[in-house]
Amino acid sequence: EEGFHISKACLEPSQNGKVCSVYLEQDNEEFILCTLSPKNLDESLDLNFTATEKICFRVEVSIRWY
């Protein structure tokens, strides 16, 4: 069975001050992978999965309030 690799998480530059946290859900557990912001638009990852693994990615967005 072929697996797959995820090497990077990126934030679109036009998100205007938004901070995004990227989560991985696997086997009823949740892991934060990275936090992206206008000062940190991308984060290198080194994640490998098999074709049979059930995973879910979730993004939580925080907006700066003034």
pLDDT tens sequence across 12-58: 877 677 889 999 999 999 999 999 988 899 999 999 999 899 999 99
- Residue 35 and residue 62: Cα distance in Å, rounded? 10
CA–CA–CA angle 26, 62, 43 (5° rounding): 60
For residues 2 and 51, is the Cβ–Cβ distance under 8 A? yes
Helices (H), 1-66: none
Q: How distant, in Å, are the alpha carbons of 7, 29, 57 from that of 53? A: 17, 13, 13
pTM: 0.80
For residues 61 and 18, is the Cβ–Cβ distance under 8 A? yes
Q: How confident is the model at residue 64 (pLDDT cuts 50, 70, 90)?
A: low
